Amino acid sequence: MNSEAIKKTAPHRALLHALGLTNEEIERPLIGIVSSKNDIVPGHMNLDKIVDAVKQGVSMAGGTPLVFPAIAVCDGLAMGHQGMKYSLVTRELIADSTEAMTLAHALDALVMVPNCDKNVPGLLMAAARINIPTIFVSGGPMLAGKVDGQKTSFSSVSEAMGAFYSGKITKEKLLEFETKACPTCGSCSGMYTANSMNCLTEVLGMGLRGNGTIPAVYSERIQLAKHAGMQVMELLKKNIRPRDIMTEGAFRNALTIDMALGCSTNSMLHLPAIAHECGIELNLDIANEISDRTPNLCHLAPVGHTYIEDLNEAGGVYAVMNEISKLGLLDTSLMTCTGKTVGENIAGCENKNPEVIRPVENPYSKTGGIAVLRGNLAPDSCVVKRSAVAPEMLVHEGPARVFDCEEDALQAIYSGKIVPGDVVVIRYEGPKGGPGMREMLNPTSAIMGCGLGDSVALITDGRFSGATRGAAIGHVSPEAAVGGNIALVEEGDLIQIDIMKNQINFKVSDEELERRRKAWKPRTPKITTGYLARYAALVTSGSKGAILQG
């Protein structure tokens, strides 16, 4: 180091020496490792092992690893109470704090180590915003549990609660689900939000092969982490940055594979938010356009009886991409974190189990797993996981049963007040109204557990867990808190749903709708202090990814 450089950096180097770093380490590139490790989230309890492996990989490749944390909320533990208001909102905290740590300390590159629901999109948003060489390696999925010889998962416990309340199973059977459904660490074992986003990280080109599917407890996951640590040094040498990888074409690829895999509807919040940080506006109309021509190849839990471990054995995300590429639906020319193109990555990645990944000639359906609906109930859009809807519920008409919070709806379901044909409407649970856009897994699981999944729909301006199945329509925009039409629905209004035509309406004349609009008054905010109050003041619509203004 020359004298001029020493003059400018001596104070900084003094503090690095205080960390115990040698001159040799200080002169190497400083690689930030963002660890979501904590002792609360089952999907994160193993991240210390992943981080240690990443550090080894970085060191082997000539970098100096420096670890700092990111927070994480477990959606399952936050479910069904006030804690769920704090789930989605952490996405912005994670992105902001990672930006602050990275730029304040002038780091050269990053390895992101997330796993569960909001950490993955939050760190992808940060990667796009900071735009220094970055790679992702997740903590990996949980293995499936087993009850009565059948594989099972977290969503099975939620549905078992509904079955218990309705007298369909005993307390002992419910407790068996409780103790056997989640047998290992890792993100919950179905195609829920965490695994959806970890798989889509591969598709976007920000994670190595297996990032979304190698189980958390496999030694192969540790090897993957070491390779990620080594590969970030290659990205640094070649100056390949997140915005070089996460292009508009990459997001179209992600939406395409989203449809093929049957991912969580939360991807319709997260992909637009990540794209926004890349300077790309992802209009949800594109989702229907892509869905119309993309076959659904996978029915992973909660939709079917296969799990992420099965997808991994069948060839993983690359095998799905290779299958879809046969139809010419992917841009295979795009650069990825491997230093190779999409086409180079997926070449020769065969489908090893056509029961887990259907061939394109024999899909579950000719259209994708997610649909965006519009109509007078949701003028700006709403979202449904079409692949999780019973065929008889793809078109439905029924009377509205209206509730202004999740708890009231859940009580009505458990007490037998919801009957076949009803349409449960839960409002004032949107990004502003919640605030925080709570997930409605408990009400949807209660509907399924009570045997109403093929006769009752649920509509909300909140959102759904990836573990949800059934005619569950969320992200209704505009939301009730800002005077969206969902606020004007009254008990008994007939609601018409046609998922195949992407339509959702309630049968009220324009004159009556205008009368109700004039009579509507905004609700007093549920929370007026702290982070949630600030979030409510700044957050946009679910149709825009619930990003923050300004």
Residues with active-site annotation? 465
Distance separating alpha carbons of residues 127 and 137, to the nearest angstrom = 13
Which residue type is seen at 199?
C
Please list, residue by residue across 346-355, b when 16 or more beta carbons sit within 10 angstroms of its beta carbon and e when fewer do: beebebeeee
Phi and psi at residue 437, to the nearest 5° = 55, 65
Distance separating alpha carbons of residues 67 and 53, to the nearest angstrom = 12
What region does 105 belong to: left with phi over 0, alpha with psi -120 to 50, or beta? alpha
The 3-state DSSP class for residue 376 equals coil
**What DSSP string runs through 185-244?**
SSB-SSS-HHHHHHHHHHHHTSB-TTTTTS-TTSHHHHHHHHHHHHHHHHHHHHT--HHH
The 3-state DSSP class for residue 364 equals coil
Please list, residue by residue across 207-222, b when 16 or more beta carbons sit within 10 angstroms of its beta carbon and e when fewer do: bbbbbbbbbbbbeebb
CA distances from 106 to 1, 26, 34, 233, 391 (A): 18, 13, 14, 16, 54
- 457-460/472-477 β-pairing: parallel
359: number of Cβ within 10 Å = 12
Which residues 6+ apart lie within 8 Å of 50 measured at CB? 113, 137, 139, 221, 222, 225
Distance separating alpha carbons of residues 525 and 535, to the nearest angstrom = 12
Residue length of the chain: 550
39: number of Cβ within 10 Å = 7
**What DSSP string runs through 281-344?**
---THHHHHHHHH--B---BTTSSSB-HHHHHHTTHHHHHHHHHHTTT-S-TT-B-TTSSBHHH
How does DSSP classify residue 475? E
